[in-house]
Structure 1
Amino acid sequence: MPHFVVYALDKLNREAARLEHRAAHRARLRDHDHPVSVQMGGALLDADGRMIGSLLVVEAASAAAVETFVAGDPYQLGDVYGSVMVHPFNWGLGNPADAGAGHG
């Protein structure tokens, strides 16, 4: 199944909303009923270490499935994200499916 990268940047001044929805966002990435498998993820940070977005690597049948998954994310529903991009991703270096093959 293909991999995709989700690159989402927060709207300005949405730090409080991000913190309000963070626990639900993190729980949904781990336990959901959608056919998208989150392989890796974390917060994007500014130069001062403040959270300003999210980066996910997911496995899914299609970009449309990923977009549907993101549309139900607590950050999206809570009006945190200002922009979301979904791109196909050719996971080379560090891909667990390669058992540490170390090529990209």
Structure 2
Amino acid sequence: MPLFCLHCLDRQDGGAALRAKARPAHLEWAVSLGDVVRMAGPLLADDGETMVGSIFLVQAESLAAAKALSSQDPYTLAGVFERVDIHEIRWSIGDGKPA
């Protein structure tokens, strides 16, 4: 199954507050996806603490399916993200590479 990278950047005007409010629902949703999610986590500012976005590596049947998945994210629904880029990727090296 193809792999897709979801690179999501938070809004600079109020994104942090929206993220904090939606975080419990977002984490519950992400965990519920099970093996669909190969890797996920917050993107951090230069201070190494402040969350400024999210990244997901997910398995999906198609780009359309990856976009549909992203549209269900509670962060997306809460308006946290200013920008979401989704691209199919080919995992070439690194631990966890699919066979």
Partner AA of 1:59 in structure 2: Q
1:28-67 alignment runs, 5 A limit = 28-32=29-33, 37-48=36-47, 49-67=49-67
Quote how far apart the aligned CAs of 1:94 are: 2.2
TM-score normalised to the size of structure 1?
A: 0.84
Q: How many residues align?
A: 97
Between the aligned partners of 2:3 and 2:59, the Cα distance in structure 1 is 4
Quote how far apart the aligned CAs of 1:98 are: 4.9
- SS at 2:68 equivalent: helix
Between the aligned partners of 2:45 and 2:97, the Cα distance in structure 1 is 31
Deviations 1:43-99 (A, max 9, x none): 001112210000100011001101011111100110100000000111122252457
- SS at 2:46 equivalent: coil
Contact kept, 8 Å, 2:91 with 2:98, in 1: the verdict is no
* More RCO (CA 8 Å, sep 6+): 2
Structure 2: unaligned runs, 5 residues or longer:
none
Structure 1: unaligned runs, 5 residues or longer:
100-104
Q: Which has the larger radius of gyration?
A: 1
Between the aligned partners of 2:6 and 2:98, the Cα distance in structure 1 is 22
Counterpart of 2:85 in structure 1 is 85
Deviations 1:2-60 (A, max 9, x none): 1010000000131111011111111111114xxx8111000001112210000100011
* RMSD between aligned residues: 1.9
Partner AA of 1:43 in structure 2: P
Between the aligned partners of 1:25 and 1:83, the Cα distance in structure 2 is 17
